[in-house]
Structure 1
Amino acid sequence: MKIFAVAAIGLCLAMPAFAEDLRKPGDYPLGADSQVQAVPHGQVVGPMEFHSRAIPDTVRRYWVYVPAGYSAATPPNLLVFQDGQRALNPGGPLRINTVLDNLIARGDIPPTLGVFVTPGNVSEHYPDNLGMGNPDHRAEEYDALNDDYSRMLIDELLPEVAKSYRFSDDPKKRIIGGTSSGAIAAFTVAWNHPEAFGNVISMIGSFTSIGMHPATATTPFIPGGDTYPGLIRKSKIRPLRIFMQDGSNDLDNEHGNWFLSSQQMVKSIEWANANADKWNLGPARYDLKHVWGDGGHSDQHGGSMLPDILRWMWRDQGK
């Protein structure tokens, strides 16, 4: 099996020798931690609709995963994941609620409340015919570098969830994650608000020019996600723990090269850490791990690693 670069974080990607010869690029099977097991299962509540003031004229759906044994007296950790319809898909590659069931039951990670949210759709009610597809306001929310999506999530949606379920307010006990444009949305929230989220999961992240709009005679230039590597090198370091994944066969189109952009992100984060004192970027440092594979624009590789990603994210917390 050809591995392009693997960060030494104990993520097990090994396969039997006879299977390596048969493996196709991008083929990353799910392990036992992503399969339904005979363990206590958390409750998935939803879908529920949510209208936002920060992003008017849109509606989104969200689900709340309540871990088995939940007690308001001991608020659990928090995991927020974008594109919630796919994150919870029982036949998909992420199956996050199942992963949480298994890891929490075994004591591999602390009890965790999950919030899984779709992008907005410009309509009064969320369309019933979208299935696993994307609502029509996804790019405007996920690929923008402004604070609108962060404000919707932090000031509106999470307080709504908190009316029914308590969860930790410690950023070190909160993860925000996503795949593709959901990954850059997650990074933007944590980048702008490290006081709210101290951990970020990025899978096949769209750190490209999707959100960029050239200047015209009447409108200013609006930057896109491809500006993040430069921002990281010239901005104060946020106290963030970041996991990044991508594959060498990811997209290459008019918006950019996904694999190259993820590598640029990693290089900029590593440079900022190494030069923090010289350029007065500290005192914080990024806690970074990354894994590169040979997949395309798919959640398969990231999904196969998700149990180990969560273990790494909260490796230093009591169970």
Structure 2
Amino acid sequence: MRFQIDFIGSKGMVFSKNLGRWVRFRFVAPPEYPNAERLFPVLLMNDGQDFTPMNLETTLSNAYATRGIEPFVYVGLECNEDRIHEYGTASVADFKGRGGKAKDYSKFVMEEFIPFLREEFKVSKKGEDWVYCGMSLGGLSAFDIVYNNPESFGRVGVFSGSFWWRKKAYEKKDLADRSRIILDVIKKKTYSPHLKFWFQCGTEDEFADRNNNGVIDSIDDTLDVIKELEAKGYSSPGAIKYVEIKGGKHNLPTWGLVFPEFIEWAFKKSGRS
């Protein structure tokens, strides 16, 4: 009997000493994974509980069947009710105290989870083969972890990132708006020439326009992050990819629709230089 396997998948959980809880995760690999002697690049994703609403089963199956895509494994980390505290910027919580456990979450990823994956699964030992992504606040978290640990990653993808995360409430006369925490995170860190960045926004991510410049805050914040990266030395285009979806919303269907394009950017064979 002839048959075809689209992917290999499993779910599990690991206990984190840093977070003091069990963390659930989903592992998905291409059909050749069980018999492969090679190690695979990794796509790590925050908010892994959104796997089904984002239709990632179909997206990954299609990617694994595409010859131009480098075979990779997907690992989705699920959050819990502490999401607003575990995601954020590791250096400091926001002005409302949100993200107070972001440093613990970063330590979990770097000191516990990545070593666990490298010990238990056929995943690459090379940092440049690892891609981390996330949506909204999970995107801010992924960016912060990658940017502060460049030796462990090659690329990061941020979908409608919560780059508004700030040290103090917004003031209308603050034209530079440097209270957005991620801008100083970028400024203070040493340039890492191998890093590459993907940013996606939707023109209907939101309708707020705090500085009344005719551009919604989600896009404004993302473009300011790109400007900060350019000032640090990253090229755009080149090291930086920005995708703006007309009519795109701050929701799982929008992110799921653009995810195949992100995977092509992250794992296209000719593009992994």
With normalisation by structure 1, the TM-score equals 0.67
Count of residues in Structure 1 that have an aligned counterpart in Structure 2:
240
Q: CA deviation at 1:262?
A: 1.2
CA contact (8 A) 1:180 1:206 kept: yes
Counterpart selection for 1:207 from 158, 163, 179: 163
Structure 1 gaps of 5+ residues are: 1-37, 120-134, 215-223, 276-284
Cα distance in 2, alignment partners of residues 105 and 165 from structure 1: 21
Distance 1:102 1:168, change over 3 A: same
CA contact (8 A) 2:234 2:240 kept: no
Alignment check: 8 A CA contact 1:145 1:225 kept: no
Whole-angstrom distance in 1 between the partners of 2:189 and 2:44: 25
Q: Does 1:287 align with 2:242?
A: no
Distance in 1 (CA, whole Å) between partners of 2:117 and 2:13 is 12
Q: 1:111 aligns with which of 46, 61, 71?
A: 71
Match of residue 244 from structure 1: 199
Distance, in Å, in 2 between the alignment partners of 1:231 and 1:163 is 31
Counterpart pick for 2:47 among 63, 83, 94? 83
**CA–CA distance in 2 between the matches of 1:273 and 1:159?**
31
Higher helix share: 2
Taking a change above 3 Å as real, the CA distance of residues 95 and 160 of structure 1, as seen in their structure-2 partners, is: same
For the aligned residue pairs, the C-alpha RMSD in angstroms reads 2.9
Match for 1:189: what amino acid? I
CA contact (8 A) 2:198 2:241 kept: yes
After TM superposition, the score normalised by the length of structure 2 is 0.77
Shift of 1:186: 0.7
Which residue of 1 is the match for residue 30 of structure 2?
67
CA distance in structure 2 between the partners assigned to 1:82 and 1:229 by the alignment: 21
Shift of 1:234: 4.8
Q: Is the 8 A contact 2:87 2:141 kept in 1?
A: yes
Instruction: Between the two structures, name the one with larger relative contact order (CA 8 Å, sep ≥ 6).
Output: 1
Contact 1:249–1:259 (8 Å) recurs in 2:
no
1:312 counterpart SS class: helix
The C-alpha deviation readout for 1:43-81, integer Å capped at 9, x for no partner, is 2201x232211122x332111112211145201110101
Q: 1:143 to 1:45 in 2, by over 3 A?
A: same
1:143 equivalent in structure 2: 88
Q: Is contact 1:103-1:307 (8 Å) kept?
A: yes
Establish whether residue 190 from structure 1 lines up as the match of residue 135 from structure 2.
no
Residues 195 and 239 in structure 2, CA contact (< 8 A), matched pair in contact too: yes
Q: Identical aligned pairs, as a percentage?
A: 22
Deviation at 1:317, TM superposition (A): 5.7
Amino acid corresponding to residue 205 of structure 2 in structure 1: D
- Choose which of 247, 252, 258 in structure 2 pairs with 1:299: 252
